[in-house]
Amino acid sequence: MSDTVVNASPASPAPAATTGLLLDGDPPRLGTAQPAPEMPNLPTAAPVITPSTAPEMPNLPTAAPVITPGSTPSLPTPAPAAAPTNDSPSNDSAPTTGEHPMAHLMPSKTMPTEASRRAAEQRAAQKAKSKKIKIGVISGIIVVTAVVGPPLGKWLVDAINEVGATTVEQPAE
């Protein structure tokens, strides 16, 4: 059965669906007019100032002022720098001998002592010897793998294949 009345009698009040009124919690229905939301009271805007009600305002210039060549402001100019003399070396000049521009801030390199030179030679000799030993060991491993590898590989493959075989060996008679 439906809630809509086909023939509404004048004695019965109109259903809520036709008046558009919704109770709290009722979902809005299609085809019904939504009630207009109430507008909150907003503060009124400040009155608009028109030229007739505005207080006395200063007049603004309508064109940019024209500056004549004699009236332009001038910036202060620095005094010309004194020419450097040959007696005092300048730190600002670029180095002419190929040294670093900040070389004056870096410590100077000292000559190595005899003991440090001998220690460096011994380290270099040990490094060369260890490099030769590493090359010899790696080449030996490659040779041993090449000689032993194929028979060892064949034996390993045969062992893996025989593990899954189901044949039973017959005793010799």
pLDDT digits (tens, 9 = 90+) for 41-77: 766 766 666 666 556 766 766 776 666 766 666 677 7
**Listed residue (23, 40, 19, 42) closest to 31, CA to CA:** 19
Let me know if residue 74 belongs to a domain. no
How far is the CA of 163 from the CAs of 84, 119, 154, in angstroms?
Answer: 96, 61, 14
Neighbours of 120 (CB within 10 A): 11
Let me know if residue 16 belongs to a domain. no
Let me know if residue 135 belongs to a domain. yes
Average pLDDT in the 118-146 region? Answer: 96
Decide: residue 57, CB within 10 A, 0-12 exposed, 13-18 middle, 19+ buried.
exposed
Mean pLDDT value across the chain = 74
Q: What is the DSSP string of 78-120?
A: PPPPPPPPSSS--SSSPPSSS--TTGGGSPPPPPPPHHHHHHH
State how far the Cα of 23 lies from the Cα of 28, in Å rounded to an integer. 10
Asked whether residue 143 carries a pLDDT value surpassing 90, the answer given is yes
What single-letter amino acid sits at 15? P
Let me know if residue 112 belongs to a domain. no
The answer to which of 11-20, 32-41, 99-108, 115-124 has the lowest mean pLDDT is 11-20
Query: Please, what is the Cα angle at 151 between 149 and 153, to 5 degrees?
Result: 65
Q: Would you state the pLDDT for residue 114?
A: 94
**Listed residue (47, 45, 17) closest to 29, CA to CA:** 17
pTM above 0.85, yes or no: no
87/69: higher pLDDT = 69
Q: Would you state the pLDDT for residue 117?
A: 95
Average pLDDT in the 100-105 region? Answer: 85
Let me know if residue 152 belongs to a domain. yes
Query: Based on the structure, what is the number of domains in the chain?
Result: 1
Decide: residue 67, CB within 10 A, 0-12 exposed, 13-18 middle, 19+ buried.
exposed
Domain extent, residue 130, equals 118-162
17: which residues sit within 8 A by CB, 6+ positions away? 3, 4, 29, 32
Let me know if residue 47 belongs to a domain. no
Let me know if residue 69 belongs to a domain. no
Instruction: With beta carbons less than 8 A apart as the criterion, state whether 131 and 139 touch.
Output: no
Length of the chain, please?
173
Let me know if residue 122 belongs to a domain. yes
Average pLDDT in the 82-111 region? Answer: 69
Average pLDDT in the 114-143 region? Answer: 96
Average pLDDT in the 98-118 region? Answer: 87
Q: Would you state the pLDDT for residue 4?
A: 56
Q: What is the pLDDT of residues 26-40, one digit of tens each?
A: 777 776 666 566 666
CA dihedral 156, 159, 163, 169 (to 10 degrees): 170
